[in-house]
Chains A and B, each alone.
Chain A
């Protein structure tokens, strides 16, 4: 057997390896552009039975649950915000994740948020409720799930007695914050009012560590506070009209008339304005957004 030059062989390998890899990658790109199979594969679930997947996991069910949960996050993230998006695999992915690992609290909490999201989201609060209930059954001491359930009933389904029940049940659990019982009583008594809604969102803010959820909760709390302010300013504007026979042009008018101690500002410090119809509104420059769902007149009662 002949022995070639070893140094030459090494140099050949050093040069040839990246070239061959580059050729392989280029070829793969061509194959991908022709078949589009990879994109289709992503949207398929070969196995839909959580029980079968759990058995087939050969004891690695916790790891597989993480994989399915990550898929659920990616699946939702890729669609949310897209008009006309469909979410038919979201529930199976969450179902599989939580069956593989019933202690995966994050899948119940965020899963419920994903499922119940309206607008470009799936808007399936009817599926989010059983998901959270399943989480409560598997994790009976997890009071945060009761807050989520109470929130779903309150905000998405407008079922205030059910919301109060969920919060009250949670308030009895070890470690539950004292305000949960107060919140339950408040929902039972004044379900649908703006300040109760603000209290519910404050609960979501307090009980979550995720920055995205907390930011969303904070934005909604600010929006609800602004809505409350507007209701009060409208009442003052009506009083102003009674006294002076005309509508106020600005919050300054209310202050000059002695109806307001200072210029009223929204939670981010922008002064409110009055429209030609005499209704208070957010300053056009203000980043505060009033949540649409609570804006109907029926929900403005205090």
Chain B
């Protein structure tokens, strides 16, 4: 594989780090984790649960906001600022540009998520609980969140290749919510008596990204075992979906008239 996407990725990461919105998000995530400590004081017996649940939910929610709102601007911002033209004049193919942009944002999200995970660990440490073996499951849940964010980033990048940032945001959010309800869509088909509708809902179930796969927050909070096979399958699922979206995005972007 060509090394051309690498400078684009590094540049995207640098640009995101310079972005003040990014810092604000980290700040708010840490604030939420701090709030978890206070919430633990007004309830009974769930101090650790609240910290883990709120911390992981904050990591997921803030990551999602970043993946969508920064992701939809990855291409359009370059077009708007006219920096894309000077970039494409260099020996870099359009798909390489897209992959670089994608990798840059995923790197940003990974770094951001790592800091938030450290914040979560600090919050757990603050409540005076020694770390136990099952805490490693929190890292698995964080990894699943990262997979989810990688998929959402690919979705927003795909839409941003042919649509405005506003519409791309709506499309990405729409697909995300549909993906969260994938199970319900399938159930709905099973309840109906129409064979055609049953087929349609079944196809839709396999077509939309199933974001429910990546939800291990409750399992991590309760110290339930997450099988290694599920980790491998989720990784493969996300990788295949991301590959599919990047291929589709490259196809659209390569044929887009930028004049």
Contact A74 B42 (CB under 8 A): yes
Say whether B44 contacts A73, CB under 8 Å: yes
| Size bracket of the A interface | 20 to 34
Q: A59-B212, A103-B224 in contact; A66/B50 too (CB < 8 A)?
A: yes
B93 at the interface (CB under 8 A from A): no
Q: A59-B211, A62-B218 are in contact. Are A104 and B42 (CB under 8 A)?
A: no
A104-B44 Cα distance, complex, nearest whole Å = 12
**Bound complex: CA A273 to CA B44 (Å):** 40
Q: Does A179 contact B (CB under 8 A)?
A: no
A101 touches B218 (CB 8 A): yes
Which one of A55, A62, A69 lies within 8 Å of B221 (CB-CB)? A62
Interface contact A66-B54, CB-CB below 8 Å:
yes
Q: Compute how far the CA of A66 lies from the CA of B50 in the bound complex, rounded to whole angstroms.
A: 6
Chain A residues lying within 8 Å of B217, measured Cβ to Cβ, are: 59-60, 62-63
Interface of B is mostly: helix
Min CB gap B181→A, angstroms: 7
Chain A residues 57-71 with CB under 8 Å of chain B are 58-63, 65-66, 69-70
A58 to B180, Cβ gap below 8 A? yes
Are A60 and B57 in contact (CB-based, < 8 A)?
yes
Question: In the complex, how many residue pairs between chain A and chain B have their CB atoms under 8 Å apart?
Answer: 59
* A61: B residues at CB distance < 8 A: 218
Nearest CB in chain A: distance from B172 CB, A? 14
Chain A residue at smallest Cβ distance from B39: A70
| Chain A positions 22-74 with a Cβ under 8 Å from a chain B Cβ | 55, 58-63, 65-66, 69-70, 73-74
Q: Flag whether B49 is at the interface (Cβ < 8 A).
A: yes
Would you call B222 an interface residue if the criterion is a C-beta within 8 Å of the partner chain's C-beta atoms? yes
Interface size class of B (residues with CB under 8 A): 20 to 34
The residue on B at minimum CB distance from A212 is: B44
Instruction: Give min CB distance, A93 to chain B, whole Å.
Output: 12
- Most A-side CB within 10 Å, residue of B43, B211, B217: B43
- Alpha-carbon distance between A58 and B221 when the two chains are bound, in angstroms: 17
Chain A residues touching B, majority SS: helix
Q: Is the CB of B50 within 8 A of A106?
A: no
Known: A60-B57, A73-B42. A66 touches B177 (CB 8 A): no
Look across to chain B and name the residue whose beta carbon is closest to the beta carbon of A74: B42
| B198-229 contact mask (Cβ, 8 Å, vs A): 1 or 0 | 00000000000001100101100110100000
- Which residues on the A side are within 8 Å of B251 (C-beta)? none
Residues of A101-120 at the interface with B, using a CB-CB cut-off of 8 Å, are: 101, 103-104, 106, 109-110
Whether B45 is near chain A, meaning CB under 8 Å from some CB there, is yes
Are the C-beta atoms of A210 and B45 separated by less than 8 Å?
yes
CB–CB A70/B212 < 8 A: no
Contact B57 A69 (CB under 8 A): no
A77-107 CB contacts (< 8 Å) to partner B: 101, 103-104, 106
Q: B217 CB to closest chain A CB, in angstroms?
A: 5
* C-alpha spacing A73/B221, complex, angstroms: 20
Q: Is B139 part of the binding interface, using a Cβ–Cβ cutoff of 8 Å?
A: no
> Which A residues lie at the B interface, using CB under 8 A?
55, 58-63, 65-66, 69-70, 73-74, 101, 103-104, 106, 109-110, 210
- 5 smallest beta-carbon distances between A and B, as pairs: A106-B45, A62-B218, A70-B43, A63-B53, A63-B57
